[in-house]
Amino acid sequence: MPAAAHLRLRSSIVLAVMLFVLTAPLIAEDRIVGRDDLPREKPASIERPPKGGMVFIYRDGTRLWLPPKDYVPPANNDQQQPVGQPSNDRPPVNRPATNEPPAVAPQGGVAAADAAPAGSPKPRKVLEWRSELIRSLAFTSDGKHLVVSPKDNDCWVFDAATGEKLPIDLKGMRGPTQFLTAGPKPGTIYCIEKIVNRLVDVKTGKDLGYDGIGVDLHPTGGLTTSKKWLVLGGVAGNVAALSPELNSTGGKSAGFANNDPPPPDVKSWRTSAVAWSADDKFAAGARPDGRMFLWTIKPDWSEGNEVSVAAHGTQVDSLAFTSAGLWSLGLDGQLKLWSVPDGKEISTHSFGGELDRGWLLCDGQVAAITRKPAVGELELHRLPLKVGDKPELITKIPIVGLFDGFPTVHREFTIPHIALSSDFQQLALAAKSGSNDLAINQVAIYDVSTHLPKPDKSAAVAATENDPRVTGSTNAGATKTTPLPKVEREFRTWTTADGKFSVEAQFVSMGAGVVRLKRKDTGKIISVPVDLLNAESQAAAKAPK
């Protein structure tokens, strides 16, 4: 190579190195942007820098910093630009051309800047945001721990009071946990995997029991009121019942299979909801095609009479037994009450549109719903106490504020899962925000003690009262309950202390702080805690014959 050409090559190399060194700080710099200046393309990764906010890193090396809300741009600094404003010495952030209108809240929905409704619960604790989909979450029976199951990871355990993540992860035995529900003792949780079910101590992470018959079980169910069975969804609306200790060698199991095969669409092979009565005499299951099944259970929890009902036009998302009958909540926006055991429709209520999700909480006293389109609100409604009444809105819980500081081009907010503590004091929800190209998941805990009713302890009394399956030798830990004397009295109106609920009924008996009444309209026996009644009704309950 001639000397002149060699010299030119060396000079070019030196110049290129100098240019790279001089421009490297600019390339690696975190460019400040506003929420609306982020490109539509999905970032390669997201960082949480010590300076706060979030840094979005793209495949071409671009680093965009979305500062925290309290960020103040430094004065007289050419290397920083005000939030949302491109600097003079760099090109603005590239955004692909689009004809889509700016994102706005759906009609009747909640815009990002809207304040929460007056009196609505505020998040007591917002846990760390995650990019992983949340499969399930549940409180332990004592309400001290919240367990969260991510899509492809071990379960996380949080202190429910502080929101602190505990250093123990609940590792899966045969894969990720599909469903979580409270265990029979404080500090325990059921982890339902695809092919195994486990009872786990959340403080140690150790298995207390396991059962390897998890195949074809679906993420719905829980422990019965009597704590004698763990009830889970089976296939196509069927119900499975397992021994609560999940003893793989000596455990017991039962189940109810319906005689109505689903349509040939794969989705209908799931079980979308299950329920059981407090006295262990009835069980129900439902599937996505809207069909519901009601079984009368024999004393040994073997299958009895089956009733099949075309309950809803689309998926039945939740079921609950109460003293009034069996409630069903469908994604068609219909809330229906059915008589037990014949499955005849008693009443229907409409929420005025399709639902995205629905849950029946508080032993069937409250319906929690999210609507379509996804407006980012969880609505809590009190179920009607009497035939002819309508559901009453208790409050709305907006979730938009959970994502402050996180940018999404399309502001879509959904609530795939919620969990309620056994004392009805705490509600946790998994919320999802974003579009197909960028999404984030949040988990928050709310104090709902002033919005939801207290647990009806009479349900637990009814589950064991005069029941040979509980008072006999099959339940060694139970003590025999002395039958309460019946007192014949006239029908009268019984009213709660707050005056919101009343029922015309005849006194039957009283004991353990619970009065048993026979309804005049249905003839059914209901149990009501005495301390919930007003002074006049309490006096009537305690009056001599």
Digit-coded pLDDT (tens) for 275-291: 999 988 999 999 988 99
**pLDDT value, residue 58:** 80
pLDDT at 75 exceeding the cut of 90: no
What is the Rg, in whole angstroms, of the alpha carbon atoms belonging to the chain?
29
Buried b (16+ CB within 10 A) or exposed e, 11-47: eeeeeeeeeeeeeeeeeeebbbbeeebbbebebeeee
For the chain, give the number of residues. Answer: 545
User: What is the CB-side half-sphere exposure of residue 494 using CA atoms within 13 A?
Assistant: 29
Fold of 470-542: SH3 type barrels. (2.30.30)
Choice between 101 and 17, residue whose per-residue pLDDT is larger = 17
Rounded mean pLDDT, 532-538: 87
Winning range, highest mean pLDDT, from 348-362, 394-408, 411-425, 474-488: 348-362
216-398 homologous superfamily: YVTN repeat-like/Quinoprotein amine dehydrogenase (2.130.10.10)
Residues of the chain with CATH 2.130.10.10: 122-215+417-452, 216-398
More confident residue, 243 or 456: 243
Each residue's pLDDT tens digit, 319-335: 999 988 999 999 999 99
pLDDT of residue 345: 94
In DSSP terms, 326 is beta-bridged to: 321, 338
Question: Given this model, what pLDDT does residue 545 score?
Answer: 46
Instruction: State the span(s) of the chain assigned CATH 2.30.30.700.
Output: 470-542
Q: Classify residue 479 by burial, with Cβ atoms within 10 Å: 0-12, 13-18, 19+.
A: exposed
pLDDT (tens digit, 9 = 90+) per residue, 335-366?
999 999 999 999 999 999 999 999 999 999 99
Single-letter amino acid, residue 504? E
Q: Is the pLDDT of residue 95 over 60?
A: no
CATH 3.40.47.10 matches 122-215+417-452: no
| Residue linked to tokens 């849950």 | 359
Q: Tell me: pLDDT of 529 over 60.
A: yes
Collect all residues with Cβ–Cβ distance below 8 Å to 523 and sequence separation of at least 6.
none
Percent of the chain with pLDDT over 70: 69
Confidence of residue 468 (pLDDT cuts 50, 70, 90): very low
Confidence check: pLDDT of 274 > 50: yes
As a whole number of angstroms, the distance between CA 432 and CA 417 comes to 10
Q: pLDDT band at residue 66, thresholds of 50, 70 and 90?
A: confident
Q: What is the dihedral of CA 308, 309, 315, 320, to 10 degrees?
A: -90
How far apart CA 524 and CA 339 sit, in angstroms, is: 11
Q: How confident is the model at residue 40 (pLDDT cuts 50, 70, 90)?
A: low
pLDDT higher than threshold 70 for residue 221 = yes
Tell me phi and psi for residue 538, to 5 degrees: -65, -40
The beta-strand segments (E) located in 88-245 are 123-126, 134-139, 145-150, 156-159, 179-182, 188-192, 197-201, 207-211, 218-223, 230-233, 239-242
- Residue 169: pLDDT above 70? yes
Work out the pLDDT band at 140, boundaries 50, 70, 90.
very high
